[in-house]
């Protein structure tokens, strides 16, 4: 598959370039996979026809759908259990949920914040060709709590996702743990929409909504900065960032008069 020239994160009408890749680079040792709100807005039917393979060259979501359908590791696709969980029950039979209702694998406190209604977290799987990774797979939650606070986080990353006590999970411990936590605010607003991830998982794009303004942020996170939802870190602002050493928050004001409550960022490739 040809290399992707450039990855853009877009919030109409703004697009910010995040990564650049030259053609004919050496093959990566792992292939990461992103699941965010936009994944389910790309519909893929059929198996592995040439048309789908061609689309996968320019649309990562198509590639991820194909990987999910052909992955031998159900948990990488966000499912747990045997092949029956993958939807291969006999056709014509109604779905019958297991007795006992829903089971909570784990929970973590998010302080005063929550994920806004009808919005979604974003998950990064380190390698779609391997078993799930406890230290490298993570999920990002944007929190709808306002104000600039050194304590309360607005964006948190959790890892050790496959934890649990009954039955025991793949990862040690009873619950996921904090990878990082940032207040991530420049306008005193909150995150009312869904965050998205770059294809390599190193950057998070999200929209901060204040009483009368909308700011688009791209955060390069750093492991260990912020230890809980109520003990967050302040990201390094653009202009003072040091690659590989500090976090970095790049921000653009989209509107000085309007608040964004529905439009989440969308990862797209240039034509």
According to the model, what pLDDT value does residue 120 have?
Answer: 94
Judge whether 2 lies within some domain.
Answer: no
What is the Cα gyration radius of the chain?
19
Q: Is 181 helix (H, G, I), strand (E, B) or coil?
A: strand
Residue 246 lies in a domain: yes
Position 38 scores a pLDDT of 80
Of the candidates 28, 69, 25, 18, the one whose C-alpha atom is nearest the C-alpha of residue 205 is 18
Burial (Cβ within 10 Å: 0-12, 13-18, ≥19) of residue 94:
exposed
pLDDT at position 167: 63
> Is 203 inside any structural domain?
yes
- Which long-range contacts link 42-48 to residues 24+ away (Cβ below 8 Å)? none
pLDDT one digit per residue (tens) for the chain, 271 residues = 333 333 333 433 333 333 333 344 455 577 788 888 887 777 776 666 677 777 777 777 777 777 777 665 544 333 333 333 333 333 334 445 555 566 777 899 999 999 999 999 999 999 877 889 999 999 999 999 986 666 899 999 999 999 986 666 789 888 999 999 999 898 999 999 999 999 899 999 999 999 889 999 999 999 999 999 999 999 999 999 999 899 999 999 999 999 998 899 987 765 5
For residue 256, being part of any structural domain is answered with: yes
Task: Tally the domains of the chain.
Answer: 1
Tell me what pLDDT residue 19 has.
38
204: containing domain: 111-265
Indicate whether 233 belongs to any domain: yes
In a domain, residue 156? The reply is yes
- Which helix (H) or strand (E) segment holds residue 212: the answer is none
| 17 domain residue, yes or no | no
């Amino acid at each position: 598959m040809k290399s992707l020239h450039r990855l853009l994160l877009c919030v109409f009408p703004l697009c910010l370039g995040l990564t650049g890749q030259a053609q004919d680079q050496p093959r990566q040792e792992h292939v990461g996979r992103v699941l965010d709100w936009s994944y389910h807005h790309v519909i893929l039917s059929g198996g592995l026809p040439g048309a789908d393979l061609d689309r996968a060259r320019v649309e990562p979501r198509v590639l991820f759908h194909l990987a999910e359908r052909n992955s031998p590791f159900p948990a990488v696709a966000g499912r747990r259990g045997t092949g029956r969980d993958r939807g291969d029950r006999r056709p014509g039979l109604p779905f019958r949920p297991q007795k006992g209702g829903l089971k909570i694998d784990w929970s973590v406190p998010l302080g005063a914040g929550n994920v806004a209604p009808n919005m979604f977290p974003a998950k990064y799987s380190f390698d779609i060709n391997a078993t799930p990774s406890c230290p490298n797979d993570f999920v990002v939650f944007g929190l709808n709590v306002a104000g600039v606070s050194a304590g309360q986080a607005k964006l948190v990353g959790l890892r050790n996702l496959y934890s649990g006590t009954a039955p025991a999970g793949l990862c040690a411990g009873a619950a996921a743990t904090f990878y990082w936590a940032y207040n991530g605010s420049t306008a005193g607003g909150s995150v009312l929409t869904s965050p998205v991830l770059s294809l390599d998982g190193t950057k998070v794009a999200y929209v901060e909504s204040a009483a009368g303004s909308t700011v688009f942020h791209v955060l390069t996170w750093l492991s260990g900065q912020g230890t809980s939802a109520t003990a967050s870190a302040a990201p390094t602002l653009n202009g003072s960032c040091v690659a590989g050493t500090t976090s970095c928050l790049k921000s653009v004001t989209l509107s000085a008069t309007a608040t964004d409550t529905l439009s989440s960022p969308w990862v797209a490739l240039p034509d």
